[in-house]
Structure 1
């Protein structure tokens, strides 16, 4: 009986570890080399969250107000949450002093489904980099308030068949370098999602749509001609003669 209990206990521990329960083995440290990577951030934005998408990655700067920790996470296509792989971690004090992950007061650990960042001060700005995928950017909203997302150069969000911007209460402007910047005055939703396209994608989409319209018109004309040809043949054959009509009284 004791052996069975011991085996059951080992199985339970194994399941907890496989499920990512950090309470069993403690928090998992984040890659220190990744956290110590160098990155130049734009600290001057007045938005609560300012995100610069450069292609395969993005740089995020968050306004910190009266917090000692900042938890971030990712969500996959199935809705499962997990720690967010971050790099180039930095913190800017209100007086403009910037420290990186080399500071013992600024570090990050993976705890269960979150990456928890310990902050060196309760107020300031926190910045990190993370990966982005293709022509789409999505992030969970770790703070409320004003958000701005600058998409890669040459990308557009003007046409909804090719683009998607959520939440919907936003406006777009152009930066000095010609990039499109999307700004929300007050984000209260759980996520910000932006799907964008290259200008040439719009031309390809328009060309494809035009081809489909032409094919549809040609098909409609073809069937119209077939119908008219059948009508012409019926007219040439004359009226139908019904020789099997029943006589009177039958």
Structure 2
């Protein structure tokens, strides 16, 4: 049975990896240079945070009100805060004028021990940046209060767990004009927004893997049942040899006969 157990374990690992629960087949992370000329959608319709995830990177547009700086950070593997690497900084003034970090010396980033601080050229407006995303998962700390909107890569879905995970709950989902899934939270009160998504093929692979595991488990159960029945038959065959001869064949005790 050792080989059966190894087979079952291997199947579990295989279909979990293929189904996208890990980033083994997920898109790779994009470099910061690729986002040097990022284009941002400033028409956020009052949304406080608008995030667009496209493969190995994402763009983010945040509303800022009466702030001179905008701190951003992420959690490392040890659960500690560290600066979030950002690129392609841009800022939109309330009158619609957009400037980049190369056009305004006041729009820049200073790195501290646990966070990166974006220095803003004005106290009100919208700040935008580009950052890396990992595999089939997106996560960000909540840097502002209010409404959040996250659009995931084309072809990705969030319908079924455990392949998908969306946190916090209480969101609505719709589709953009190009068919991408867009998630909206009206009032985020958690410290982070996390979205894990998958391709439709991942769901098929997950179902196929689960079916294979069921068949392996059923085969193992039948094997054990057959072994039990064989043992029972062996016990019957090895039982005591009972003498069923007639009384006439027995001479009886001495003195009788």
Over aligned residues, Cα RMSD in angstroms? 2.0
Shift in Å, 1:185: 1.5
Structure 2 match to 1:86 = 86
Which structure has more relative contact order (CA 8 Å, sep 6+)? It is 2
Shift of 1:235: 4.5
The answer for the alignment partner of 1:41 in structure 2 is: 40
Q: How does 1:14-29 map to 2 (within 5 A)?
A: none
Q: Secondary structure at the match of 1:103?
A: coil
Deviates more, 1:177-186 or 1:48-57: 177-186
Partner in structure 2 of residue 104 of structure 1: 105
List gaps (5 residues or longer) in structure 2: 1-31, 243-257
Deviations 1:164-198 (A, max 9, x none): 11112212211111111111121111111111111
Task: Return the offset for 1:98.
Answer: 0.8
Report deviation, 1:232.
Answer: 3.8
Tell me, in whole angstroms, the C-alpha distance in 2 between the residues paired with 1:233 and 1:69: 82
CA distance in 1, matches of 2:111, 2:198: 34
Please give the residue correspondences for 1:119-198 in structure 2 after superposition, counting only pairs within 5 Å: 119-198=120-199
**TM-score, length-normalised on structure 1?**
0.77
Residue 201 of structure 2 aligns to a residue whose secondary structure is: helix
Q: Match of 1:76? A: 76
**1:240 Cα deviation after fit:** 8.7
The aligned residue for residue 30 of structure 1 is none
CA distance in 2, matches of 1:57, 1:195: 14
CA distance in 2, matches of 1:140, 1:201: 27
Change beyond 3 A, Cα 1:238–1:49: same
- Select between 57-66 and 223-232 the one with higher mean Cα deviation: 223-232
User: Residue 80 of structure 1: CA displacement?
Assistant: 1.9
The equivalent residue for 1:67 is: 67
Judge which range, 108-117 or 90-99, deviates more.
Answer: 108-117
Structure 1 Cα separation of the partners of residues 123 and 109 of structure 2: 16
Query: Structure 2 length as normaliser, TM-score?
Result: 0.75
CA shift for structure 1 position 221? 1.4
Q: Return 5+ residue gaps in structure 1 as ranges.
A: 1-32, 242-250
1:54 maps to 2:54: yes
SS at match of 1:182: strand
Distance in 2, matches of 1:145 and 1:239, equals: 83
Q: Post-superposition shift, 1:238?
A: 5.7
User: Post-superposition shift, 1:109?
Assistant: 1.2
Following superposition, the deviation at residue 132 of structure 1 comes to 0.9
The verdict on how the C-alpha distance between 1:164 and 1:239 changes in structure 2, with shifts beyond 3 A counting, is farther
Partners of 2:126 and 2:240 in 1: CA distance: 88
